[in-house]
Structure 1
Amino acid sequence: MNQGKTRVWPSIIVLLIWLWGVTGGSAEDPYRFFTWNITYGQIYPFGICQQVILINGQFPGPDIHAVTNDNLIINVHNHLPEPFLLSWNGVQQRRNSFEDGVYGTTCPIPPGSNFTYQMQVKDQIGSFYYFPSLEFHKAAGGYGGIRILTRPEVPVPFPEPHGDFTILIGDWYIANHKDLKSILDQGKMLRCPDGILINGRGPNGVSFTVEPGKTYRLRISNVGLQNSMNFRIEGHVMKVVEVEGTHTLQNTVSSLDIHVGQSYSALVTADQRAKDYYIAVSTRFTTQALITTAVLHYRNSRTWVSGPPPPGPTTDIQWSLNQARSIRTNLTASGPRPNPQGAYHYGQIKVNRTIKLANSAALLNSKQRYAVNGVSFVPADTPLKLADYFKIAGVFHVGSIPDYPTTVQQIHLDTSVMGADYRAFVEIVFENHEDIIQSWHLDGYSFFVVGMDIGQWTPNCRKQYNLNDAISRSTTQVYPDSWTAVYVALDNVGMWNLRTEFWARQYLGQQFYLRVYTPSHSVRDEYPIPNNALLCGRAKNPIS
């Protein structure tokens, strides 16, 4: 493994400081070790042979099971003929953006090499997933589920379920991911996806076996490339209990909209007569509707699914908007710690700064590009976090993206970085002037989704904000010709990716980095660079 260049401090001291930091000075937090081999393999989800990315020969990859405050040591061996990176969607790298796994923070793992991610799921619970973030690899699989359980002494606001299923849904292309990337590199947009996969399988390719009368937890993540999905189970209702690390008010729903990049937990009870039932997943608000099915199999069933799958809900945006507003924090439940989540009164904190973000599109040099506030992101030759750490000039400059959308229609290319002060409390307003749903994600953070509505945002919209029990999550949707507002406490120092989850648009520039900065160099604010950090670009020979 590439250990990088020797630091000024002896490596053993750096390691001891890192261990002290990730364990909070305690030796009680356990370590979980994983060894993953990344290879190409073949699958037949739609009856056609496809090349996909396998992890230890699996597609999807293996689940990560952890408990709050566990230290995860994941040794990734890259057997692909190109560089590779994994990122952790929704898992907050506390004070450790070096491990975030996107190119703005982390050097890719070279072909034939390995890298060991060292991270702690500090003060986190919930349902998340990992995915490959480089070279449009996300269109080739390489993803898997992450479940972080509460510690035994912390109560959960529902009875222990009989079983726990990871369900990864998402749109899928039959074309090879390299061909898709080539289309984007030529400045063209991709056509609509070919279908939907559930846990890497096509229609009725996967089943979930349940015992009559028992209740099960479904951890559902939309790992797709662009489309919002609706999830439903024939003849059954679901009770939503958790969203990306936050326990929710336990609303009962017949179907659930899950936008790209989002994760939910829902409880379902096998309380119907013994037979097999469709699990249906379909795209939302698209001109070309896609649908696929899995099977909920009662163990004593002798009747296979038949007939049409259950229909989805109305295509009226207002239905989905109302459901989204109903998903709120359970203030009486504990989070990762044994105290009510409502103890954090975010609605009483003064906002230091308002940031408005709007997506736009244009042709540059006859090639399609996408932008945020008029700036279309281009990767630098060196990960931004490394350039910042080693003070390498000329890689990026803070302030290269404005706080507000520009009135000028043109867009321009830049390695866009927005500066922000550590411990600031900011309002971010996402504006969507298109007729499609947008989905936005901020690495390293959860934010409070305080408001969303159809129309144009104005300061007067703050009167309708939920300042009491808004859901805290890391990915939010913005409906067509609508806005969504979030509050975020910038309590995590580092360089963090803020991006669309519409992956072709992310690849073509609809993203930037938020540099949360403090002049302090204390390990209480940010961990030292990992001793095994890969170095690339101009950071290969830094002046340290």
Structure 2
Amino acid sequence: MSTASAPVGVALAITLILGLAGVLNADGPELYYDWKVSSSQIAPLGVAKQVILINGQFPGPLLNATTNDVVHVNVHNTLSEPFLLTWNGVQQRKNSWQDGVAGTNCPILPGQNWTYGFQMKDQIGSFFYYPSLLLQRAAGGYGPIRINNRVVIPIPFPFPRDDFDILVGDWYNADYKAMRSGLDGGRLLPEPDGILINGQGPGGASFTIQPGATYRLRISNVGLRTTINFRIQGHKLLLVEAEGSYVVKENYTSLDIHCGQSYSALLTADQPPNAAYFIVASSRFISRNLTGVATLRYAGSNAPPIGPLPDGPANYDYAFSLNQARSIRWDLAVGAARPNPQGSYHYGQIPITRTVVLRSGVAAMGNGTTRYTVNGISFVYPDTPLKLADYYKIPNVFTPGSIPDAPDGRSPATGTSVLDAHYRDFIQIVFENTEPELQSWHLNGYGVFVVGMDDGVWDKGKNSSYNLVDAVYRSTLQVYPKAWTAVLLALDNMGMWNIRSQVEDKRYLGQELYMRVKGDDPVPSYRDESPIPDNVLKCGRAASL
């Protein structure tokens, strides 16, 4: 960890969050966090740049909670720019007011603070938070999230001696403001300069383990645009969880982790003690061979790791990655956030009420710049968050249903894409990737069943190949080049939800949309959606309301 300043006090935070308690489902303990956002010159790869810190730390502090806990995070913005945090994988049940993206929240202005208040409702698992505005993600500001099982629901494996949060990701030595300026001017990002493990360059991070003990590694790819292959010299990784789902336990020698994805794997210290071993996070599917290295050290050993780094898959071996993805399956026999087995929810027997095909693409716009599209539309943000505009019925901010359910051959153009969806429908979304690069997509507010993925163009005949029994349930999914991925989801979470590319430069240049999930009642019941927070930030055309 890198330290720049001490955290601020919590007295003001406690005062501010008191008004929020009444609008949350407070059937769990309340947790209070007070975070100061600042920046400092740090050189993870030997080149100093401004890095965003949370409470003086990079990566930021752990947000450690248990199923149904109510979390209050008072964020103080001392940067010179607006700031928001989003909680990647936390579903914000009934509460898109707290989602922390530009379509739901006004930014926290420089010198100001704002308190998020949300519940970890019916979730377990490994996730992370990161800055969602202005390409600030390229400067850090990210940190781990754990949602632990309630004590009444045992975890489906022997209790580990300890948990290690491992955040891996690509890193650019360039300043994020210069990177942003380049994107604004039509210059796409080059390949990254290196790979960080917990904010440190090769050889920086170290983890100490006891011989014979088992540890839970919570691994997230927090990078901008690069798939990471993760492996540990001489050790196997027993995969147990993927973004809040317990999966069928299987040993892997290495794991492909795509942008925005998170996993838990068990590591057993079963190799000769009095030694150290390489932890490797290497780039995939780019021309440069970038490698992040950390150390796994058995207690009592001071020797460095020896031998060559463990080999990973061939750089452009997509078949390896696809087959591994298909091998990750939902464990039907165990409970997670609730005591009933995951398999008691028979998603494959629910009739599909609607199919949406979202095709990603790239287009040269009239001004000579490159933009990325979904169904021919490159997303641009209006001057008012969509959630506020919807609540206050402000006209001419967005049009529900402004993106078609399937590509319709339109000429590429910019627009504010909002998919209108009906509460409690059960739908299919097919992500089609026409580009030569792997894509990663994330849905805020939801987990989805990843029922199929393959090369080529999707058609209805592909439904017969779906896994309708034990497909993994997660919030971030990959789509291989010139390929498709199909997911099923129950629209049981009312709100305004971001669907975005997790390849950050593509999202920044338009590859995202929002899904408005509403019922038939003009004013939703508080049982279905939380009311507008008392401390809501207002901006744009909602500023004076």
Partner of 2:45: 46
Query: 1:478-497, aligned counterparts within 5 Å?
Result: 478-497=479-498
Distance 1:360 1:321 in 2: 21
Q: CA deviation at 1:14?
A: 8.2
Contact 2:428 2:487 (8 Å CA) reproduced: yes
Partner of 1:105: 104
Q: What is the RMSD computed on CA atoms of the aligned residues?
A: 1.4
Which of 514, 534, 537 is equivalent to 2:537? 534
Partner of 1:186: 185
In the alignment, does 2:302 pair up with 1:299? Answer: no
Q: CA deviation at 1:316?
A: 2.1
Secondary structure of 1:398's counterpart equals: coil
Partner of 1:405: 407
Partner of 1:344: 345
Partner of 2:264: 265
Query: 1:359-370, aligned counterparts within 5 Å?
Result: 359-364=360-365, 365-370=367-372
Partner of 1:3: none
Partner of 2:203: 204
Partner of 2:88: 89
Partner of 1:326: 327
Q: CA deviation at 1:94?
A: 0.6
In the alignment, does 2:511 pair up with 1:510? Answer: yes
TM-score (norm 2): 0.95
Distance 2:262 2:17 in 1: 38
Distance 1:326 1:301 in 2: 36
Secondary structure of 1:251's counterpart equals: strand
Give the counterpart letter for 1:296 in structure 2.
L
Give the counterpart letter for 2:226 in structure 1.
N
Secondary structure of 1:167's counterpart equals: strand
Query: 1:61-460, aligned counterparts within 5 Å?
Result: 61-274=60-273, 275-314=275-314, 315-364=316-365, 365-408=367-410, 410-460=411-461
Distance 2:272 2:303 in 1: 11
Contact 2:231 2:279 (8 Å CA) reproduced: yes
Distance 1:466 1:247 in 2: 17
Distance 1:13 1:116 in 2: 10
Deviations 1:228-261 (A, max 9, x none): 1100000110100000000000010000000000
Partner of 2:11: none
Distance 2:278 2:174 in 1: 28
Deviations 1:490-516 (A, max 9, x none): 111111000100100100000000000
Give the counterpart letter for 1:492 in structure 2.
N
- Which range is displaced more, 45-54 or 167-176? 45-54
- Which range is displaced more, 34-43 or 518-527? 518-527
Q: CA deviation at 1:289?
A: 2.0
In the alignment, does 2:528 pair up with 1:525? Answer: yes
| Ranges in structure 2 where 5+ consecutive residues have no aligned partner | 1-15
Partner of 1:5: none
Secondary structure of 1:62's counterpart equals: coil
Contact 1:59 1:200 (8 Å CA) reproduced: yes
TM-score (norm 1): 0.95
Partner of 2:23: 18
Contact 2:362 2:435 (8 Å CA) reproduced: no
Distance 1:227 1:524 in 2: 40
| Ranges in structure 1 where 5+ consecutive residues have no aligned partner | 1-10
Change (3 A) 1:36 1:12: closer
Deviations 1:438-463 (A, max 9, x none): 00000000000001112221211111
Give the counterpart letter for 1:242 in structure 2.
E
Distance 1:515 1:91 in 2: 18
Distance 2:194 2:349 in 1: 45
Deviations 1:317-337 (A, max 9, x none): 111111101101111111101
Give the counterpart letter for 1:330 in structure 2.
D
Q: CA deviation at 1:12?
A: 12
Q: CA deviation at 1:46?
A: 1.2
Distance 1:286 1:249 in 2: 30
Change (3 A) 1:15 1:233: closer
Q: CA deviation at 1:355?
A: 0.4
Give the counterpart letter for 2:53 in structure 1.
L
Contact 2:231 2:255 (8 Å CA) reproduced: yes
Give the counterpart letter for 2:530 in structure 1.
Y
Contact 2:183 2:509 (8 Å CA) reproduced: yes
Contact 1:396 1:415 (8 Å CA) reproduced: yes
Distance 1:196 1:54 in 2: 18
Contact 1:14 1:528 (8 Å CA) reproduced: no
Distance 1:87 1:302 in 2: 39
| Shift >4 Å, 4+ stretches | 11-17
Contact 2:20 2:117 (8 Å CA) reproduced: no
Change (3 A) 1:15 1:145: closer
Q: CA deviation at 1:308?
A: 2.7
Distance 2:298 2:475 in 1: 35
Q: CA deviation at 1:302?
A: 3.6
Secondary structure of 1:248's counterpart equals: strand
Q: CA deviation at 1:13?
A: 12
Give the counterpart letter for 1:276 in structure 2.
A
Give the counterpart letter for 1:277 in structure 2.
Y
Contact 1:40 1:54 (8 Å CA) reproduced: yes
Contact 1:87 1:130 (8 Å CA) reproduced: yes
